[in-house]
Amino acid sequence: MFKPLDPLLHSELRLAVVSLLISTEEAEFPYIKEQTGATAGNLSVQIDKLSAAGYIEVEKTFKGKKPCTLCHITPVGLKAFEDYVKALKSYLNVKKT
């Protein structure tokens, strides 16, 4: 009846991050922060979790002399997102028959 929802994606901020990365392919920390409205601390933690799960990849580079944390989605993350959306639909198709 109801499919289980991947707890890693069933989180407002992490879902926003993954959604954003799917649409942009790659994004810098400050940009993600701005787009999601998250605090830096919260975002940092959630990015770590997504990264630890292999859903995203984090590359720490430099932009001139400034550090620059670049994130992008992985195939695993994309698949997880697609599965999550599929599972979600089992909760949203509530047509009265």
Q: Could you list the residues that contact a second copy (CB under 8 A)? A: 1-2, 4-5, 10, 12, 15-16, 19, 22-23, 25, 35-37, 81, 85, 88, 91-92, 94-97
List, in order, residues 6 or more apart from 75 with CB less than 8 Å away: none
Give the residue with the Cβ less far from DNA, 14 or 81.
14
Tell me: does residue 24 bind DNA (CB under 7 A).
no
By CB under 7 A, residue 65 contacts DNA: yes
Applying CB under 7 A, the site for DNA has a residue count of 29
Distance, CA of 85 to CA of 79 (rounded, Å): 10
Residues sharing a CB contact under 8 Å with residue 92, sequence separation 6 or more, in sequence order: none
In the three-class reduction of DSSP (H, G, I as helix; E, B as strand; rest coil), residue 58 is classed as strand
Instruction: Select the residue interacting with DNA from 52, 68, 76, 85 (CB under 7 A).
Output: 68
